[in-house]
Amino acid sequence: MTKRSGTRQWFKRHTNDPFVRQARKAGYRSRAAYKLIEMDQRYRIFRKGQVVIDLGGAPGGWSQVATEKVGKTGQVIAIDLLPMQPMEGVSIRQGDIADPSIHDWIERELKKPCGVVISDMAPNITGIRDRDQANAVRLWQMALQFALQYLGKDGAFIIKVFQGDGFEPFLNQLREAFKSVTVHKPKASRTASREVYFMAKNPKFRPNMVKKSDF
């Protein structure tokens, strides 16, 4: 298959995707919004008035869902290496979560302790499977450290992961760090995709146990 024909097939599959059409109709920036909606309906992740931090927020589908769930009394903070268009009710910062200046900004923005950290981060794909998986695992570790730094004792951490090397060890790490961990593959995830989501609730560690220097 040539690169051009592969691109055409992807575009055809994408435009015919019912979740893509549904997202456009509803005004969501990405089909991924329906993954988070499904998980919240099943596991009751969000509450009105919560603070949510969205890692890898661009283009903004998850932040849109989060703002709907926490309401006007809540707060949503989104961070991504990529630019993200402004969104009502969301504080947006372009940057790397390993950058201390990002943490300084977050601490200034936070109005109260964080209730939920959501991460849809994924590495740039090289096409070399082992390298891509290793890069993904590195992002998972960064997101976990971030969550343990900011979440309160009743907090929840939602993260996208990919089945492969590092999957089981990371799942075990979550089970050591949180009282409850669930694995879920939303209906909006494509069947052929290796992605699944971990939902971890109630950190065993105290807030701020992980410091900025750990990133």
DSSP 8-state class, residue 112: S
Q: Which of 25, 48, 112, 160 is catalytic?
A: 160
Q: How confident is the model at residue 146 (pLDDT cuts 50, 70, 90)?
A: very high
Confidence band for 13, pLDDT divided at 50, 70 and 90: low
Buried b or exposed e, range 54-87, using 16+ CB within 10 angstroms? bbbbbbbbbbbbbbbbbeeebbbbbbbeeebeeb
| Architecture field, domain 31-214 | 3-Layer(aba) Sandwich (3.40)
Write out pLDDT tens, residues 172-182: 999 999 999 99
The domain segmentation of the chain, as residue ranges, is: 31-214
For the residues 34-59, what does the mean pLDDT come to? 97
150 pLDDT more than 70 = yes
Of residues 161 and 22, more confidently modeled: 161
What pLDDT does residue 121 have?
96
Active site residue 160: yes
Q: Name the percent of the chain lying above pLDDT 70.
A: 87
H or E segment and range at residue 70? helix 61-70
pLDDT for 206 equals 54
pLDDT at 43 over 70: yes
- With beta carbons less than 8 A apart as the criterion, state whether 179 and 139 touch: no
Please compute the mean of the pLDDT values over residues 145-171 and round it to a whole number.
96
Alpha-carbon gap, residue 146 to 203, rounded angstroms: 12
